[in-house]
Amino acid sequence: MSFNVENIRNQFPILSQEIDGNPLVYLDSAATTQKPQTVIDAIVSYYTESNSNVHRGAHYLADKATRLYEGARDTIASFINAASREEVIWTSGTTESINIVANGLAHQLVASDEIIVTEMEHHANLVTWQQACKKSGATLKVAPMNDKGELDLVAFEALLNSNTKLVAMPQVSNALGTINPLDRLIPLAKSVDALVLIDGAQGIAHGNVDVQTLGCDFYIFSGHKLFGPTGIGVLWGKKSLLETWPVWLVGGEMISEVTYQDATWGVLPNRLEAGTPNMAGAIGLGAAIEWFMALDQDAVLEYEKELIRYATERAEAFDGLTIVGQAENKVGVLSFNLDGHHPADVGFLLDKQGIAVRTGDHCAQPLMNRLGVPGTARASFSVYTTRADIDALFNGLEKVKSMLG
């Protein structure tokens, strides 16, 4: 297996620091991944050598910045196997991407229409559809999951009918790590001619994403969960849809003709990218994907599977620890509670040992209510995570137990 985790770690400068005298053990990659030096260098290089607004200047720096910016779009299109580079729309992140689709769909829905989401949604892929239904009078339906955190496929199929206009679901649950079987779910949704939106925020960094093979209509993700900077994301959609999708944000760059009385919109991707874009963010994300694509993807997947297997074994052997979310098919996410103690207390005491996890409801309050817990502590892994990090977590939890009593 051509994968050397120590070589990977050496490319992430932030991982070498100490917290309160303890080596940093970063186990919060589901919240945001750390950035390799090549991404940091690409952003610094843009600001020190290429900084200019794109598309609009007739000078060297503008041309150079435009080439870098649009080159990053080409990188994204190749990475997800988009049919056309015009299908790649820059946004500020997953949340804005979903809102663009939801606001557009709200104009097309009628009272008899239905939208399906799942019990495991992040708020960004739930509240947006709630609001779209409120605006249009459409009905929001929620596909249930079992106690292991897996979607109930029979119940999901039973919800589908001729009134289903869109199914919006995560590729991977941010709170549980569950990998949804999109190869089964998407064809079911398409059998009733529903549009399908996939929230790929958690899935994009854990596997080969091919939007052509998936067969969805929209796939969205954030750069900061894929080793790139914050404030940049991607909305991919089928060109036939995006060409006529109702615009949400209007202003400069996205127009074709403007008078004092009216305006017409430009062609893709401009029509959905109003205003001055996040050039540095796009260039940084392009660099992050180039870095990620250079890794042996099969080796990465196998390594991450081994990490979650090892972490699960350690968790199951740990007295007083309850794993929350035990799907058969998971990415490197271990959500847990400890001896009835509040997750925030657990996270605080781990932090004092230099161990970074996330605690709370993970922007999935309805999911936590479904599971009957106030929240969880969540350790999440990436390509730079080691077995030693996982060992440090459980050694840290032993100390937490002794302190909490």
What confidence score (pLDDT) does residue 368 get? 98
Q: Which two structure tokens, joined as six digits, stand for 41?
A: 């260098």
- In the structure, what pLDDT confidence band is assigned to residue 205 with cuts at 50, 70 and 90? very high
Residue 58 is predicted with a pLDDT of 87
Q: For 170-183, how does the pLDDT look when each residue is reduced to its tens digit (9 = 90+)?
A: 999 999 999 999 99
| 289 φ/ψ angles, rounded to the nearest 5 degrees | -70, -40
**Torsion of Cα atoms, 86 then 93 then 357 then 386, to 10°:** 20
The residues annotated as belonging to the active site are: 363
The pLDDT score that the predictor gives to residue 351 is 98
For every residue of 162-196, DSSP letters joined together read TTEEEEEEESB-TTT-BBP-HHHHHHHHHTTT-EE
pLDDT category of residue 300 using cuts at 50, 70 and 90? very high
Give CATH for domain 5-30+296-404.
3.90.1150.10
Mean pLDDT, residues 110-135 taken together:
98
- pLDDT tens for each residue of 7-33: 999 999 999 999 999 999 999 999 999
As a whole number, mean pLDDT of residues 154-165 equals: 98
So what's the pLDDT on residue 56?
77
Contacts of 343 (CB under 8 A, 6+ apart): 337, 359, 360, 374, 375, 376, 377
**pLDDT score of 59:** 95
Q: Which helix (H) or strand (E) holds 73?
A: helix 60-80
> pLDDT-derived band of residue 127, with 50, 70 and 90 as boundaries?
very high
Please say if the pLDDT value at position 285 is more than 70.
Answer: yes
Task: With H, G, I as helix, E, B as strand and everything else as coil, classify residue 400.
Answer: helix
User: Which residue do the tokens 């309050």 mark?
Assistant: 365
* 41-293 carries CATH number 3.30.300.30: no
Q: Which residues pair with 377 in a beta bridge?
A: 336, 359
State the pLDDT at residue 40.
98
The answer to whether 91 and 233 are in contact (CB under 8 A) is yes
Mean pLDDT, residues 207-222 taken together:
96
Cβ atoms 79, 295 nearer than 8 A: no
pTM of the model: 0.97
Examine the pLDDT at 57 and tell me if it is beyond 90. no
Q: What is the pLDDT of residue 177?
A: 98
Go through the chain and tell me how many residues it has: 405
Does position 1 have pLDDT exceeding 70, yes or no?
Answer: no
Compute the distance between CA of residue 329 and CA of residue 309 in angstroms, rounded to an integer: 11
Segment 227-281, tens digit of pLDDT: 999 999 999 999 999 999 999 899 988 999 999 999 999 999 999 999 999 999 9
**Residues 245-280 as b or e (16 or more Cβ within 10 Å = b):** beebeeeebbbeeeeeeeeebbebbbbbbbeebbbb
**Mean pLDDT, rounded, of the chain:** 97
Q: How far apart (Å, rounded) are the C-alpha atoms in residues 314 and 324?
A: 14
| Domain chopping of the chain, boundaries | 5-30+296-404, 41-293
Express as a percent the part of the chain with pLDDT over 90.
Answer: 97
Judging by DSSP bridges, how do beta strands 114-118 and 164-170 pair with one another? parallel
- What pLDDT score was predicted for residue 361? 97
Q: What is the pLDDT of residues 345-378, one digit of tens each?
A: 999 999 999 999 999 999 999 999 999 999 999 9
Q: Are 215 and 183 in contact (CB under 8 A)?
A: no
**Residue 88: per-residue pLDDT:** 98
CB 178 within 8 A of CB 327: yes
Phi and psi of 26, rounded to 5°? -95, 110
- What is the per-residue pLDDT for 389? 98
